[in-house]
Amino acid sequence: MSNANDVDVHSAQAVHTRFHDVEQAIAEECTAVGRNRDDVTLIVVTKFQPVSVNIALTEVGQWVFGESRHQDAVRKVREPALAHANWHFIGQLQSNKARQVAAYAAALHSVDRPSLVTALANRDREVALPCFVEINLTDDPRRGGVQPTELKRLVDLMLQTPGIKLVGVMGVPAIDEPAEYGFERLLEYRESVLGLAPSATQISAGMSHDWKIALRFGATHLRIGTAITGPRPSLP
């Protein structure tokens, strides 16, 4: 699978260039929609990328990373050069991995069911783990996120659970319709979350192809991967 092209596209210089381009575009887009750049967190999704990509990003001041699989994340978390990084966990999380992930995660974006909340309860942690409730924005119940009909029950449980702090909502629009539809729904569901948890104001939304739209819909946390990292290697 490795050829000269793969090396090139993930070189530190290539990563730096794409990072600066996207960062500049985010700043411009914030200005265009009247948002403060400081109110938007850029999470660079480095899932399945070599650790060299993370290190290249720290060289341009980017220390906030998104990872989606524990086995893949943990070897990067242990890398001494990344000891000061912030790891946002954005992928489907098995309950039996929950505590291990919570030990290094700065935030968890994919809380989607009661059993996961229960697995996270009463952890030995001084500061509660910031958590987003992930909501399924599609008609396909197999897609990630809690079904909207189950949202209230899950939020109630999160609010009663010590050791975690509900900070907002997360969602990924369906691929077969305009992203606007999904983000619109996310904002509607957010209203009901805010009714139960007024401080859960954050919105984790927007990926490489739709982050500009997400910003218009109020995203506070952009999860941008390939636009910055280059293409993802195929899964191990």
Ligand X SMILES: *Cc1c(COP(=O)(O)O)cnc(C)c1O
Residues of this chain that interact with ligand X (CB under 6 A) are 45, 47, 68, 90-91, 172, 207-208, 223-227
For residues 126 and 105, the answer to whether their CB atoms sit within 8 Å is: no
Residue placing its CB nearer to ligand X in the complex, 148 or 163:
148
Shortest reach from residue 172's CB to ligand X, in Å: 6
What minimum distance in Å lies between the beta carbon of 72 and ligand X? 12
Nearer to ligand X (CB atom), residue 130 or residue 163: 130
Is the C-alpha dihedral spanning 57, 59, 64, 68 positive or negative?
positive
Residue 225 CB, nearest approach to ligand X (Å): 2
Alpha-carbon gap, residue 100 to 94, rounded angstroms = 11
In the complex with ligand X, the residue whose CB is nearer, 53 or 151, is 53
Q: How far is the CB of 215 from ligand X (least distance, A)?
A: 14
- Gap between the Cα atoms of 130 and 77, Å rounded: 18
DSSP letter, residue 232: P
Max CA pair span of the chain? 53
Q: Which residue is nearest to ligand X (CB)?
A: 225
User: From the CB of 198, what's the least distance to ligand X, in Å?
Assistant: 26
d(CA 88, CA 105): 6
Task: Give the shortest CB-211-to-ligand X separation in angstroms.
Answer: 8
Ramachandran region of residue 230, left (φ > 0), alpha (ψ -120 to 50) or beta? left
86 vs 163 by CB, closer to ligand X: 86
- Residue placing its CB nearer to ligand X in the complex, 195 or 231: 231
CB of 231 to ligand X, least distance (A): 9
Nearer to ligand X among residue 111 and residue 172 (C-beta) = 172
SS3 203: strand
In this structure, how many other beta carbons lie within 10 angstroms of the beta carbon of residue 128?
Answer: 15
**Helix (H) or strand (E) segment spanning residue 188:** helix 179-196
Cα distance between residue 73 and residue 127, in whole Å: 21
φ/ψ of 136, rounded to 5, equals: -70, 120
Nearer of residues 143 and 199 to ligand X, judged by Cβ: 143
